[in-house]
Chains A and B, each alone.
Chain A
């Protein structure tokens, strides 16, 4: 049975698209046929992060409107056979995502895929609500920072009241906290909310902690999901998070400051 996962946050710029790309690639690497959909109509960016921007011909809105069929719009990733990208449109018509149309496309995708990742736009407007409406699971991307935590709390409330599962009185969307841009050194100094604090405030289960890492920008520069970078701490943290999502128990890594040796202290970067 295909599972629909929404990657959402309320706040912008916290790492939803990076997470969607990494998670989709991570699930594909684990052998699951996965598609990642861009719900940010008008501000398409998943294609860039996935490195397939020059291969977009048809998009989500074309399929909803019946101008193209699903297989014409799906882009097969060149790095992995199990991975597909479903780009959105650059149209400025915000209401182009009609719920009935989206539902039809979702049902069709469910026939072909194990996992459907919905990359939500920021905010709590039509696009964000449509992205979370069909979800079975949600990944709440949160930065250890007050405005992001507050917005996450808001979006958790919306998932509990406005999703299809809520409307139909079905078991609720199962929500997971993913803390991104985490800097253990600053946490140790009392300058940043600790993972335990955010967990306690939002009171939802923790899926993973992604450390602040230069490799994330490098990955988006080149259009490569960060999980493909095996040397990257962020990439490895995403691989762990995917494993936990699939039911494995893995210890949290990258949550304590790195121990730096004497020479690093002398000659390393500050």
Chain B
């Protein structure tokens, strides 16, 4: 079987495998290292602010940094479906977070 498979499916060279593995791992690592340090703090503060108005849990806010071409975007996803609105809207925004 192995013989037939190798006849019809040319084996990738180990150098090709190396190149593909590197491309994948570096894409991950570059995305990670380029994310600014403030993202976790931003997420925490957003949760605190939104949490004054709506009952939400930590995993309902996602902050991601996107890159496409020359533009980068900061994407903030807040999931409030099923969350309970708080009465009275909570304290003013100027209060310390």
Footprint of B on A, CB under 8 Å? 145-146, 149-150, 153-154, 157, 187, 189-194, 197, 201
Partner of B22, one of A150, A189, A190, A192: A150
Query: B7-44 interface mask toward A, CB cutoff 8 Å, 1 = contact, 0 = none?
Result: 00000011110110111011001100110000000000
Report the minimum CB–CB distance from A201 to chain B (whole Å). Answer: 5
Partner of A201, one of B16, B22, B33, B34: B22
Q: Is there contact, CB below 8 Å, between B26 and A191?
A: no
Report the minimum CB–CB distance from B29 to chain A (whole Å). Answer: 7
Given A153-B29, A193-B18; 10 other pairs, CB 8 A cutoff:
A149-B22, A150-B29, A153-B30, A157-B33, A157-B34, A187-B15, A191-B15, A193-B15, A193-B19, A201-B23
Known: A146-B21, A146-B22. A192 touches B15 (CB 8 A): yes
Return chain A residues, CB-CB under 8 Å to B34: 157
The dominant DSSP class at the A interface is helix
Instruction: Find the B residue at minimum CB distance from A194.
Output: B15
Instruction: Find the A residue at minimum CB distance from B11.
Output: A190
Q: Is there contact, CB below 8 Å, between A191 and B29?
A: no
Return chain B residues, CB-CB under 8 Å to A146: 18, 21-22
Known: A187-B15, A190-B16. A154 touches B29 (CB 8 A): yes
- The total of chain B residues at the interface (CB under 8 A) is 15
Q: Is there contact, CB below 8 Å, between B30 and A191?
A: no
Report the minimum CB–CB distance from B67 to chain A (whole Å). Answer: 15
Complex Cα distance, B22 from A187, in Å, reads 17
Q: Is there contact, CB below 8 Å, between A191 and B13?
A: yes
The residue in B15, B25, B33, B34 that gathers the most chain A C-beta atoms within 10 A of its C-beta is: B15
Complex Cα distance, B56 from A146, in Å, reads 44
Return chain A residues, CB-CB under 8 Å to B19: 193, 197, 201
Q: Is there contact, CB below 8 Å, between A157 and B25?
A: no
> Can you report 10 residue pairs joining A to B where beta carbons are below 8 Å apart?
A146-B22, A150-B26, A153-B29, A153-B30, A154-B29, A157-B30, A190-B13, A191-B14, A193-B19, A194-B15
Return chain A residues, CB-CB under 8 Å to B15: 187, 190-194, 197
Complex Cα distance, B33 from A22, in Å, reads 33
Q: Is there contact, CB below 8 Å, between B14 and A190?
A: yes
Instruction: Find the B residue at minimum CB distance from A186.
Output: B15
Report the minimum CB–CB distance from A202 to chain B (whole Å). Answer: 9
Return chain A residues, CB-CB under 8 Å to B29: 150, 153-154
Return chain A residues, CB-CB under 8 Å to B25: 150
Q: Is there contact, CB below 8 Å, between B26 and A201?
A: yes
Instruction: Find the B residue at minimum CB distance from A202.
Output: B26
Return chain B residues, CB-CB under 8 Å to A194: 15
Report the minimum CB–CB distance from B6 to chain A (whole Å). Answer: 14
